[in-house]
Chains A and B, each alone.
Chain A
C-alpha cells in the first residue's frame, strides 16, 4: 500500500515537471509589467551589444546629463525612419543616447548600426524583451527621456519626428 502511494506521488510529480518544462519551452518570453507608471529608471544589468560585457544601469547612467533611451530593432521599419533624427540628437553634447536592442538577431542589429551609423553611446541587448517592458515600452520604437535626477520624464511611443526633436531640445535647455 505504501509503495503504491509512493508510486502515485512520484508519477504525479513527474507529470507535473514534464508539463511545466513542456510549457516553458513554448512560452518563454511573455512578460507583463506590474507597474507601468513607475517613474524611476529600472535597475538592471544587461549585455553590451558590441562587447557583450555586462553593464549595469548605475554605470550607464552615471553621468550628470540628460539621457535618451531608445528601444529599437533591426526588423522594425519605423526605426529606420527615425534613425537620422537620432543621429542628429546624438551630436548634442548635453544628452546621451542609450539604445535598447529589442528582441533582435544580433548580427542583423550590428549590420543595422554599421549601415546607418551609431547614435548611441551605449547599446544594450534585450533579447527577451523584459528590459524594455521594465522601462514601460509597449513596442518598438519607443523613446524615453530621462532627466538629471534619473527620472523618466517623457515617453514617446512610435518613431520620433522633427517636432519631437525640437521638444526634446527644449526640455534639455
Chain B
C-alpha cells in the first residue's frame, strides 16, 4: 500500500525534475563556463534515484503480493516462486514501461559522467533531447499505463502470471533486451546534438562508438535469449518464427549493425557522416516503432499484450513527433562534409562498408515490409493476410550469398585505395569451400545448386576468418571473432534447417512406434503435484539407428492460476544435435500427441551468437588502435 503511494509520487517527481532539468540546462547552455554546471549532474542523478525508487516499489509490491496494486493483481499470485514474482515486475505492460524509463534515465546519467571531455554545448543538447524522450515516456506511463493503480476492495488473490512467461531465460530477456533497445536512445539524442553543433567528427565517432557497442551487445544477447526461450518453452521446436515481435527487435539490430560499421569509418576517416546520423535516428525510431507495434495491439502475435487503442494513439503521436523533430534537425543543420573526404577508390574498405550498409538496408526493408504490410493492406483494402517464414527466407537467403562473400573480402581491404592481396590463397580457400560443401550436402537436399553456393559462401567466410584468427593473432581480433561468429551462425542455421527431421504421431502408454531411423517407446507416465501446477511427466525411450537408447521426459503442466496447460519439451543437447520431444494431450482419448525432432547443431546457433557478442565486447574493452 505504502509502496504504491511512494512509487506513484516518485514518478510524478521524476517528471517534474525532467521539466526542471530542461529549464536549467537551457539556462546553462548560454552561460559562459566551460564545464556544465554541477546542478545538472545532481538533478539527473536525483531523477534516476526517483525512477529507481518507483521501480523498486513496484518490485516490492510484487514480492509482497500486494493485490491493492492493479498491476500486481493482474500479473501475480501468492503461490508463485519468489524469482518469478520479481521477474513478473517487467513481464507486463506497465512494469516494462517502467523498465524503459529506468534504462532511459540510467543511460543519460552514465552518459553525462562518461562524457566529461566532450564539448559542453553538445552534452547539454544531448541531455535535452534525452529529456524530451523521458518526458514523453513519463507522460505515457502516468496517463495511460500507471503501474500503481489502486484497487479497492483489495482482492485476496491475484490472477497469476501467464505460465509460458515463467521461465528463467524470459525472466532476464526483457532487461537485457531493453538495455540494448532503449540504449539506442542515447545514440539518437547525442547524434541530434552532434548535428546541431556540427560536431559529427572523428572525436565524436570515437566517443559514441562505445555507446553503439554497448547497445549492440545487449541487443544481440537479448534477442538470443528471446530466441532460446521460444525454443525451449513454446514447444514448436523452432528458434525464430518471424513473428512481428521478433521482427521489431531484429530491425533495430540491423540498423545498429550498419551503424557500428559506419562509426568505424567515421572514427578513422571522418567520412559517411550522413549515414551515421541517419542510421542513429533510424535505429531509435525503429525501437519506438517496435514499441508501438507491440504495445498497441495493432498486430496479432504470440506475445499477447493488453490491447488498448488509447496507448497506441499516444505512442503513435509521440513517435511521429520524434521523427519530425529529428528529420527537421537533420535537414536544417546537417552539412555533408567536404567532397574530398568522401572520395575513395571503388576497391577500398570504405566501399566494402557501404556495401554492407546497403545489404543491411535491404534486409531491413524485407523485415519491415513483412511486418507492416499486413496493416497497410488491411486498412486500405480490408484484406487480411499474414506474412510467414517463406517470404523472409525466399527474400533473404539468396542475398546472403554475395553478402557473405563481401564479408570475407571487405575486412582485408585497406582504407581509401586497395587491391586484393593473396589472391591465390583466397581462390584456394574458395575452391576448398565449394568442394567441401558439395561433398557434405550432395545427398541431402533437392535444391543442390542453391544450397551449394550458399553454404560455400558461408564456409568461405568461415575459413578466411579462421585463418585470420590464427595468422594475425590479435590484430583486429574483435572484427574477426564477430565475423567468424556470423559465419558459424549461418552455417548452423543452414545445416539445422536442411538436416532437421521430425516425427508427429499419436501414441499411448506401452506402445512402440517404429520409423525409418529408429524406435520410440512410451514407457509410463507419472503425475506430480507442485505448488502452482500439477504435472504429468511421460517417460519415453528412443532408440536411434545405431541402437543407442536415450530417455526423454516431456512434461505437461496444468497451472492453477490462471488455468493454462503448457507442454514442456524435453531436450537432450549434444555438440552435434538436439533431440527434442514434446507431447500434447488429445482430449477424451488415452493417446498422447507427440512430436519428436532431431535438430542438428542447435547449440552452435547459441554459441555463434555469443561469439558475435564477444566480438563486440572485445572491441569495447580493447585499447589498441586498429588498422
Q: Does A37 contact B (CB under 8 A)?
A: no
Binds B, one of A23-31, A65-73, A135-143: A23-31
A53 touches B584 (CB 8 A): yes
Least CB distance, B500 to chain A, in whole angstroms: 17
| A25 contact set on B, CB distance < 8 A | 296, 298, 309, 312-313, 316
Interface residues of B in 365-390 (CB under 8 A from A): 375-376, 378-380, 382, 384
Q: A23 is contacted by which of B379, B556, B564 (Cβ under 8 Å)?
A: B379
Least CB distance, A162 to chain B, in whole angstroms: 23
Task: Name the residue in A3, A21, A26 with the highest tally of chain B Cβ atoms < 10 Å from its Cβ.
Answer: A21
Interface residues of A in 102-120 (CB under 8 A from B): 107, 110, 114, 118, 120
| A31 contact set on B, CB distance < 8 A | 382, 384
Least CB distance, A171 to chain B, in whole angstroms: 21
Interface residues of B in 49-66 (CB under 8 A from A): none
Interchain CA distance A93-B384 in the complex, whole Å: 37
Q: Does B562 contact A (CB under 8 A)?
A: yes
| B565 contact set on A, CB distance < 8 A | 50-51
| B236 contact set on A, CB distance < 8 A | 53-54
- Knowing A14-B320, A50-B564 touch, does A24 contact B379 (C-beta < 8 A)? yes
Q: Does B436 contact A (CB under 8 A)?
A: no
| A21 contact set on B, CB distance < 8 A | 292, 298, 316, 375
CB nearest to B316 among chain A residues: A21
CB nearest to B323 among chain A residues: A14
Binds A, one of B18-26, B414-422, B585-593: B585-593
Interface residues of B in 578-599 (CB under 8 A from A): 584-589, 593
Interchain CA distance A59-B588 in the complex, whole Å: 16
CB nearest to A22 among chain B residues: B316
Interchain CA distance A14-B562 in the complex, whole Å: 42
| B585 contact set on A, CB distance < 8 A | 50-51
Q: Does B331 contact A (CB under 8 A)?
A: yes
Q: Does A35 contact B (CB under 8 A)?
A: no
CB nearest to B504 among chain A residues: A59
Least CB distance, B280 to chain A, in whole angstroms: 17
Interface residues of B in 262-306 (CB under 8 A from A): 292, 296-298, 300
B593 touches A59 (CB 8 A): yes
B contact residues, range = 35 or more
Q: Does B235 contact A (CB under 8 A)?
A: yes
CB nearest to A21 among chain B residues: B316
Task: Name the residue in A7, A50, A120, A121 with the highest tally of chain B Cβ atoms < 10 Å from its Cβ.
Answer: A50
Q: Does A170 contact B (CB under 8 A)?
A: no
Interchain CA distance A85-B296 in the complex, whole Å: 40
CB nearest to A7 among chain B residues: B331
| A24 contact set on B, CB distance < 8 A | 298, 375-376, 378-379
Interchain CA distance A7-B332 in the complex, whole Å: 11
Interchain CA distance A48-B565 in the complex, whole Å: 10
B375 touches A20 (CB 8 A): yes
CB nearest to A34 among chain B residues: B383
Least CB distance, A10 to chain B, in whole angstroms: 7
| A59 contact set on B, CB distance < 8 A | 504, 593
| A122 contact set on B, CB distance < 8 A | 586-587
- Knowing A122-B587, A130-B384 touch, does A27 contact B327 (C-beta < 8 A)? no
Interchain CA distance A51-B378 in the complex, whole Å: 29
B589 touches A121 (CB 8 A): yes
A20 touches B384 (CB 8 A): no
Least CB distance, A130 to chain B, in whole angstroms: 6
B382 touches A3 (CB 8 A): no
CB nearest to A125 among chain B residues: B304
Q: B316 is contacted by which of A18, A48, A53 (Cβ under 8 Å)?
A: A18
Q: Does B563 contact A (CB under 8 A)?
A: yes
| B376 contact set on A, CB distance < 8 A | 20, 24
| A128 contact set on B, CB distance < 8 A | 300
Interchain CA distance A8-B375 in the complex, whole Å: 24
Q: Does B361 contact A (CB under 8 A)?
A: no
Q: B320 is contacted by which of A10, A18, A28 (Cβ under 8 Å)?
A: A18
Contact with A along B146-167 (1 / 0, CB 8 A): 0000000000000100001000
A52 touches B379 (CB 8 A): no
| B352 contact set on A, CB distance < 8 A | none
CB nearest to B317 among chain A residues: A18
- Knowing A51-B584, A59-B593 touch, does A20 contact B379 (C-beta < 8 A)? yes
Least CB distance, B612 to chain A, in whole angstroms: 29
Q: Does A57 contact B (CB under 8 A)?
A: no
Q: Does B566 contact A (CB under 8 A)?
A: yes
Q: Does B567 contact A (CB under 8 A)?
A: yes
| B320 contact set on A, CB distance < 8 A | 14, 18
Interchain CA distance A28-B293 in the complex, whole Å: 13
CB nearest to A10 among chain B residues: B327
| B427 contact set on A, CB distance < 8 A | none
| B550 contact set on A, CB distance < 8 A | none
Task: Name the residue in A10, A22, A90, A118 with the highest tally of chain B Cβ atoms < 10 Å from its Cβ.
Answer: A22
Q: Does B324 contact A (CB under 8 A)?
A: yes
Q: Which chain A residues have a beta carbon within 8 Å of chain B's beta carbons?
A: 3, 6-7, 10, 14, 18, 20-28, 30-32, 48, 50-54, 59, 90, 107, 110, 114, 118, 120-122, 127-128, 130
Can you report 6 A-B residue pairs in the complex whose CB atoms are below 8 A from each other? A3-B331, A20-B375, A21-B298, A52-B566, A121-B588, A130-B384
Ranked nearest first, the 6 interchain pairs of A and B with the lowest CB-CB distance are: A121-B587, A51-B565, A25-B312, A50-B565, A24-B375, A23-B379
With A21-B292, A59-B504 already in contact, 6 other A-B pairs whose C-beta atoms are closer than 8 Å: A6-B331, A51-B566, A53-B584, A54-B236, A107-B562, A120-B587
